[in-house]
Amino acid sequence: MQLAYWLCDNYLKDPLATLIVENTHLHILPSMNPDGFALRRRGNANNVDLNRDFPDQFFPNNDDIKQRQPETRAIMNWIKQEHFTASASLHGGALVANYPWDGSRDTRKQYYGCPDDKAFRYMASMYSQSHYNMSLSKEFEGGITNGALW
């Protein structure tokens, strides 16, 4: 939310804010789970963990889109309409920049890189290096991790 406030407050006042607003196709989703946020829990109003409600590349769970939660369906429709070239998802938990893939075929915790692994590692490293505490992580080397390994 701070980014959205900063962009609104500084547009036409700060050259960086103006550059971002005028040259970046930017979407900000403050919360995918406003009910869970308000209730201070992972689950939405139906007590479903939305992080586990999306399709999985390795395990077909909940393949019927009608069975998914409304928030999940809304996000899936949104990403089909927009052609994002990059995205970042921030949520509570460990202080780490996590990059794909988040799973593996055999569910073991081992490194499982995606086709763009080098690019994702680079972006995660750049983000971590810009965050003092994250980059000094004792748990995650360089403050980054492959989701499947984690």
Output the DSSP codes for 106-121: T--SS----TTHHHHH
Checking if the pLDDT of 92 tops 80, the result is no
pLDDT for 62 equals 62
The gap from C-alpha 146 to its chain's centroid, in whole angstroms, comes to 13
User: What's the pLDDT tens digit per position in 40-90?
Assistant: 999 999 999 998 888 887 777 667 788 899 999 999 999 999 988 878 887
| Strand blocks (E) in 10-103 | 97-99
Contacts of 127 (CB under 8 A, 6+ apart): 88, 97, 134
Best CA proximity match to 119, nearest among 100, 133, 106 = 100
Bond prior to 150 in cis (omega within 30° of 0): no
Domain ranges of the chain: 91-149
Q: Give me 20's structure tokens.
A: 């971002």
Classify the phi-psi angles of 19: left when phi > 0, otherwise alpha if psi is within -120 to 50, otherwise beta. Answer: alpha
Beta-bridged to residue 142, according to DSSP, are none
- Rounded Cα–Cα distance for residues 5 and 91 (Å): 18
User: What's the pLDDT tens digit per position in 106-141?
Assistant: 777 888 888 999 999 999 999 999 998 999 999 999
Residue whose pair of structure tokens reads 């369906």 in the numeric block: 73
20 in Cβ contact with 26 (< 8 Å) = yes
pLDDT for 57 equals 77
